Amino acid sequence: MESKAKLFGHSIHQMLVVFPLGLLVSAVAFDVAYKAVGDTGFATVAFWNITAGIIGGLLAAVFGLVDWLAIPAGTRAKAIGMWHGIGNVIVVALFAASWWLRRDDPAYLPGTPAFVLALLGLLLGTVTAWLGGELVARLGIGVYPGAHPDASSSLSGRSAEQREQPTVRQRGSVIR
């Protein structure tokens, strides 16, 4: 099923989701680094990673919802998409609660509750990321119909089913 919210021919949700994932995972890594080294710079970076990760997660969710609404009702993909979305709302809420506990002093070592909330968000985020991968890789959500290894560029205006004809051969490889 092709994505309904696209930019330059690609799913906006799939493009945006990498940012909150990376930022929130990095936030926990910076919390651990602060605990190990004691440099308040690590705690400050964790705080701002959480801030940007929450914003990015909410933005990605808007486009994920657009795509989810287009999935046919009663399908396995609709159910998995629902759990993926609900789980990610909880992930953002857990990190938002962690952020709230840190907000008065971003350079402060996150207390146990703030750290545990972020860690729980990370663990649940691992599950929801897998569910997202299941939607794309296994169920074909956000994928062009007829996609294949030799499909034309999404900017070409042609369907993915159409095969390009090789134009030039150079030392055994095909140049398009």
Cα gap 14→8, rounded to integer Å: 13
Tell whether 101 and 175 lie within a shared domain.
Answer: no
pLDDT in tens, 65-85: 999 999 999 999 999 999 999
Question: Which range of residues forms the domain containing residue 128?
Answer: 6-138
Task: Provide the domain count of the chain.
Answer: 2
More confident residue, 10 or 44: 44
160 — phi, psi (to 5°)?
Answer: -65, -25
Q: Does residue 1 lie within any of the structural domains?
A: no
| Residue 7, token pair as written in the block | 């930019």
pTM above 0.95, yes or no: no
**Alpha-carbon distances, residue 98 vs 14, 110, 168 (angstroms):** 25, 8, 56
Tell whether 93 and 163 lie within a shared domain.
Answer: no
